[in-house]
Amino acid sequence: MSFKNYTQRVNQHLDGYLSNQGSLTEAMRYSVLSGGKRFRPILTYTVANVFDTDLNLADSSACAVELIHAYSLIHDDLPAMDDDDIRHNQPACHKQFGEAQAILAGDGLQALAFKVLTNDKSLTAQVRIALLQTLTDASFEMAEGQSIDLSVVSQVVDVETLKNMHQKKTGALLNCAVKLGTLISDQCSADDRQILDGFSKDIGLAYQIQDDVLDVLTPEGILGKKQNSDADKDKPTYPALLGLDEATQTYQKLYAQALARLEQLSVNADELRKLTQQLQSRKF
């Protein structure tokens, strides 16, 4: 299945889950269905597929990880957080519906993510518990990463501090997306899971460093949000700390390292390799 088909598949299921969420329906649908790369659910589907797993078993995990991502963006955009007015080339949720409704929409999406996994009767109770534990851990790490991000504004930090922040704020949920795919795949061995854990940590950090670089280089209309937003807020970033060239080399090396790890898998990893290469060459 192509990555475009994965996107269509998760969008169809998200549309169903978001069809009736009471008074929060409009704000939740606006934030989830209006755009986004869907990289995290695509990762979950791709991992499941390379192990010949029935994709029906992956639908709830793909939706859950995207719902958590969407909730995090709503809250990140709030004035008390990153104070961003544009998301996916449209007004951020709090600009469209007000801050209170945006907070509640984010809360609702977070709760819905866990409900989707809990209610998936096609998975055994043991697998559902493992999925919930994984998503819970990643969600907390993501929140911790955002806390670190807010605490270091206008401060001089070293590379290790920045790396730790990125691994939590961005990397944790990417790692989770991969792990969810392994947990529903009976053919995924312990060795394969360990390899993919390293792979996901590499691409998680690479993805955020690349975002930092693209924030400087990519025009606002392509980026889908304000250009140079991190610099305007005096946030520490890899380009600010290392310069554009070294930051670019750093994320390119991480992608190369991730691709090398895929060679060790017990299955044909061509689909994951292609996805990684697409990420490496993205412009937004």
Assign residue 214 the CATH number of its domain. Answer: 1.10.600.10
Whether residue 12 is contained in a domain is answered as yes
Whether residue 283 is contained in a domain is answered as no
Whether residue 109 is contained in a domain is answered as yes
Q: How many separate domains does the chain show? A: 1
Distance in angstroms (rounded) separating the CA atoms of residues 207 and 196: 16
Whether residue 187 is contained in a domain is answered as yes
Distance in angstroms (rounded) separating the CA atoms of residues 80 and 86: 15
Whether residue 124 is contained in a domain is answered as yes
The DSSP bridge partners found for residue 87 are 90
Task: State both tokens at 218.
Answer: 């990519």
Task: Judge whether 77 and 92 are in contact, CB under 8 Å.
Answer: yes
Whether residue 252 is contained in a domain is answered as yes
Alpha helices in 34-98 (DSSP H): 39-50, 59-76, 93-97
Whether residue 76 is contained in a domain is answered as yes
pLDDT tens across the length of the chain (284 residues)? 689 999 999 999 999 999 999 999 999 999 999 989 999 999 999 999 999 999 999 999 999 999 999 999 999 999 999 999 999 989 999 999 999 999 999 999 999 999 999 999 999 999 999 999 999 999 999 999 999 999 999 888 999 999 999 999 999 999 999 999 999 999 999 999 999 999 999 999 999 999 999 998 877 665 555 666 777 788 899 999 999 999 999 999 999 999 999 999 999 999 999 999 999 999 87
Distance in angstroms (rounded) separating the CA atoms of residues 133 and 149: 24
The reported pTM is 0.94
Q: Which domain holds residue 166?
A: 3-277
Sort residue 2 into left (φ over 0), alpha (ψ -120 to 50) or beta.
beta
Cα separations in angstroms, 59 against 10, 43, 120, 135: 7, 12, 9, 15
Whether residue 282 is contained in a domain is answered as no
Cα separations in angstroms, 186 against 36, 59, 239: 30, 16, 41
Instruction: Return the ∠ at Cα 122 (arms to 117 and 127), rounded to 5°.
Output: 60
Task: State both tokens at 231.
Answer: 């610099």
